[in-house]
Amino acid sequence: MDATALKAMQAPLKDAYRDDAARALITLKARGTLDDQSIACKVETGRALAVAGLHPATGGSGLELCSGDMLLEALVACAGVTLKAVATALEFKLGNATVEAEGDLDFRGTLGVARDAPVGFREIRLKFDLDTDEPQERIDSLLKLTERYCVVFQTINNKPALSVSAHR
């Protein structure tokens, strides 16, 4: 896809959202079912069924997906798609590219071993390896716009309002 095709595809959506902001508000949903045989949750991804379980550092077998890995995978997917869309829109000359996310966890927090140990990632690093001859200022612009428009990055970065409820 080139910049013209991308802009043509997105133009009617942008116009509709400018005319009626309510049309741009979409609720995404995820659903999972707790496994009755093991400590696992079957997550419906829309394309397949992903089974998430405990990380080996918390006693898991390693056979199920770790939710921490899934979070990083979602970040990589979103950042990669966003970078490609931004590069296309900017007519940025990009050959092969890879995206990598890594994050540091202290499992003492998750297991309740140390109250001062955080539960969750202490740090997440997102890295791009770009095959390009573009000048550094264009690369910087590409990264800035990718960061700005990546939904997962911005969600992690800006901590949305969260709520938890249970129903019987």
Q: Give me the pLDDT at residue 129, please.
A: 92
- List the structure tokens of 18: 């400018």
Q: Give me the pLDDT at residue 139, please.
A: 98
Query: CA 6, CA 14: separation in Å to the nearest integer?
Result: 12
Query: CA 37, CA 41: separation in Å to the nearest integer?
Result: 10
Query: CA 14, CA 119: separation in Å to the nearest integer?
Result: 39
Instruction: Walk me through the domains of the chain, giving residue ranges and CATH numbers.
Output: 24-158 (3.30.300.20)
Encode burial over 29-59: b for 16+ CB neighbours within 10 A, e otherwise: eeeeeeeeeeebbebeeeeeebebbbbeeee
Q: Give me the pLDDT at residue 136, please.
A: 97
pLDDT in tens, 125-158: 999 999 999 999 999 999 999 999 999 999 999 9
- List the structure tokens of 82: 């966003």
Higher pLDDT, 71 or 30: 71
Q: Give me the pLDDT at residue 40, please.
A: 80
pLDDT in tens, 84-100: 999 999 999 999 999 99
Are 121 and 104 in contact, with CB atoms under 8 Å apart?
A: yes
pLDDT band with cut points at 50, 70 and 90 for residue 39: confident
Q: Give me the pLDDT at residue 83, please.
A: 94
Beta carbons within 10 angstroms of residue 92's beta carbon: 19
Phi, psi of 19 (to 5 degrees): -70, -35
Q: Give me the pLDDT at residue 44, please.
A: 81
Query: CA 15, CA 83: separation in Å to the nearest integer?
Result: 23
Phi, psi of 103 (to 5 degrees): -140, 150
SS3 115: coil
Q: Give me the pLDDT at residue 77, please.
A: 94
Alpha-helical regions (H) of the chain: 3-19, 67-89, 107-110, 136-149, 151-158
Determine the distance from the C-alpha atom of residue 134 to the mean position of all C-alpha atoms in its chain, rounded to a whole number: 26
pLDDT surpasses 80 at 81:
yes
